Structure 1
């Protein structure tokens, strides 16, 4: 076998000779078999990322709940469910996806600032493990719905600790100016109100400060503020059974150096032990760190368009397939599936959508010709989950690989699929 060169930020992607592989599957072969745009995921990478959390938590009371908003494809959920994962959901639709793969309610926590009454009823019906309540108004409504259903709703109040996670403002969730959670200085009063309301049972406390976090200090600062509250709440006679520290651990897209998941867990447990909370159950909600580096987006170069100021490589994937660059100006590595040895040129890699914001990468050195396949790396999180049909474009297909095996896990949409549920007006 040719020597293998692993790419930084994507540990299960390797170049063998001139060809790019995910596990033992040649990516250009998958592109030709299934067409492009195409998402491809490594099952082994997902399992390895989850194992980092599970191994570090061994021997402690815990539950790792995958934050499925990062990637909610059924086969991805199935992979984590089979490994014993719980699930963090933020909508009724996500709840139905988890139920579709046979997960019990006791392994589901329900987050989100805008839960509807119908979503609450459905979650109560299936016995959801906990509602992460995000406002005092939500407490009142949940109590009313639970009473109507004849159920007791277990609640954990999501506290906004006013901690800066140092991430993109669109994915920061723990500051006073964010819409998430109950203000730190209102938390004790909210817990007292929860104990007064009928059909509610206090289960724990919750916090989530953002996404793509690359330092430990924001987690530990938020944890200290959370434990301060736990102590005050229990002094008021209200037991707190679990502490949920959320997720948000970043991955390496380019040159970021986030701490390993095991190091994050170790430091969190050390802080809990030092403050006398070592026996308390710990809940964590990782998302991106479980799937981000497990996926790639394959796309075909359609045209090379030289210009006076820019050269453009126009590909068949677009912002509707991968929103992160357009929405967050996110940098994602783009490499050729079959390496050419000509002199590379600088290209903006752009898609066919009618928007100047439709780009996947700017100023990329590529040796490429029309018809070549390119891979956008680290595309497993917030890729397919955020995909749309803008410009009436069918969404991509998805494939899962393990070793040298591969499976189609989502068929490519057809044009007929796009207007299947629409109706013409009567003549």
Structure 2
């Protein structure tokens, strides 16, 4: 998508606004599929938590993707979007046994990441196929908030607990059909990921009736020109060779599964915000937009860097700006960025806004969450309406009678 198209969309639907490019999502899906074309059975399960709009989920289903879910609500969204139960994997963390049983009753693939729940579930439902999430104790790279395969992580069953795990499986006679790991986002070193994969292969040898091995995801995408990214093609070549070798050793053609989220939707997303005020202080020029971390929290939460451009004046003289929001706390999207000269009323575009952006939006300061638009086959389609004041009040219960005076109540 170019700046002109985005500007037209902003004029049509107003700002702030999220816009997603369906063609970019499709091309990323094809790129990942092609990287592993040497694998007989490949399954890509889109990580719904990255961007869970039902129209995006329908697009993923149309592309042939499965679905990775982490909550019963995401499971139900997936089913509503048309995914078949068997194409959905449910990988929660710290949820109740009741929620896991509810998901299991819907027919989706269960993935369990702790010994206590494994024993409870296996004792009650020994015939239900279960995948086990292993913690390989490997730091694959990226922010500590999104790296989840290291020794201090709350996710997965430690590789040092394999003997205990095997004892539970033996005593319950439960059906283990998959082994899973997820190191977290921003894989910087392919060799580190391959090292973690070897741990998973070694663990898989303990189970004789597996159908698949799930390597999670965490592929890094570029956030600016020249930025480092996971070399998917190199990873595809190396892991494909090793996976095929393992299948021969195992004596069975297994399915190789991944759970890409950010890789598929990050670069497809654009967040558009209107400039309210250009404010010169003694040391800084602020461009204040009609948004804040209630709409895009990643820069404040993770220190994420989103490229910002002025699509209203793309060829203007570049100046330095600190782009900030309207929240009553410090909400800086970017400090001292070189951006084409900004005037009040201009539309700024934040790139890489497809993953973990709208999905982490809130109503902080009682602000409305923005609308979402899907750009598909050269046309803009509204896929989420902008919230209104009615949405703010919708689930609140006004107990005003508790605060009425006795005199007023007596007159009723």
Alignment TM-score > 0.5, same fold: yes
**Which whole-Å CA distance do the structure 1 matches of 2:35 and 2:297 have between them?**
33
Aligned counterpart, 1:365: 338
Aligned counterpart, 1:93: 73
Q: Tell me how far 1:377 sits from its aligned partner.
A: 0.4
3-state DSSP of counterpart to 2:34: helix
Q: Tell me how far 1:274 sits from its aligned partner.
A: 4.0
Q: Tell me how far 1:239 sits from its aligned partner.
A: 2.9
Contact residue 195 and residue 201 of structure 1 kept, 8 A: no
Q: Tell me how far 1:118 sits from its aligned partner.
A: 3.3
1:313 and 2:287 matched: yes
User: Which of 37, 44, 65 is the equivalent residue of 2:16?
Assistant: 37
Q: Tell me how far 1:424 sits from its aligned partner.
A: 1.7
Aligned counterpart, 2:147: 172
Structure 2: unaligned runs, 5 residues or longer? 403-412
1:273 and 2:247 matched: no
**Which whole-Å CA distance do the structure 1 matches of 2:166 and 2:278 have between them?**
60
Aligned counterpart, 1:47: 26
User: Which of 242, 262, 265 is the equivalent residue of 2:233?
Assistant: 262
Aligned counterpart, 1:243: 213
Contact residue 179 and residue 213 of structure 2 kept, 8 A: yes
Residues 332-351 of structure 1 correspond to what in structure 2 (within 5 A)? 332-339=306-313, 341-351=315-325
1:125 and 2:108 matched: no
User: Which of 28, 33, 47 is the equivalent residue of 2:7?
Assistant: 28
Q: Tell me how far 1:158 sits from its aligned partner.
A: 0.8
3-state DSSP of counterpart to 1:153: coil
Aligned counterpart, 1:56: 35
Residues 194-273 of structure 1 correspond to what in structure 2 (within 5 A)? 194-197=169-172, 200-231=174-205, 233-234=206-207, 238-254=208-224, 255-273=226-244
1:163 and 2:143 matched: no
Q: Tell me how far 1:317 sits from its aligned partner.
A: 1.7
Contact residue 141 and residue 186 of structure 2 kept, 8 A: no
**Which whole-Å CA distance do the structure 2 matches of 1:216 and 1:375 have between them?**
32
**Which whole-Å CA distance do the structure 1 matches of 2:160 and 2:146 have between them?**
23
User: Which of 186, 195, 199 is the equivalent residue of 2:161?
Assistant: 186
**Which whole-Å CA distance do the structure 2 matches of 1:403 and 1:257 have between them?**
30
3-state DSSP of counterpart to 1:169: coil
Aligned counterpart, 1:378: 352
Structure 1: unaligned runs, 5 residues or longer? 1-12, 15-19
Contact residue 310 and residue 347 of structure 2 kept, 8 A: yes
Distance 1:342 1:45, change over 3 A: closer
**Which whole-Å CA distance do the structure 2 matches of 1:251 and 1:288 have between them?**
8
Distance 1:394 1:145, change over 3 A: farther
**CA root-mean-square deviation:** 1.7
Q: Tell me how far 1:340 sits from its aligned partner.
A: 5.1
Instruction: Give the number of aligned pairs.
Output: 395
Q: Tell me how far 1:341 sits from its aligned partner.
A: 4.6
1:420 and 2:394 matched: yes
Aligned counterpart, 2:407: none
Structure-1-length-normalised TM-score: 0.88
User: Which of 72, 78, 85 is the equivalent residue of 2:52?
Assistant: 72
Describe the superposition over 1:203-243 as per-residue Cα deviations: whole angstroms up to 9, x where unpaired: 11111101122331221011011112222x14xxx433311
**Which whole-Å CA distance do the structure 1 matches of 2:289 and 2:152 have between them?**
39
**Which whole-Å CA distance do the structure 2 matches of 1:333 and 1:227 have between them?**
39
Contact residue 340 and residue 368 of structure 1 kept, 8 A: no
Aligned counterpart, 1:84: 64
Q: Tell me how far 1:365 sits from its aligned partner.
A: 1.4
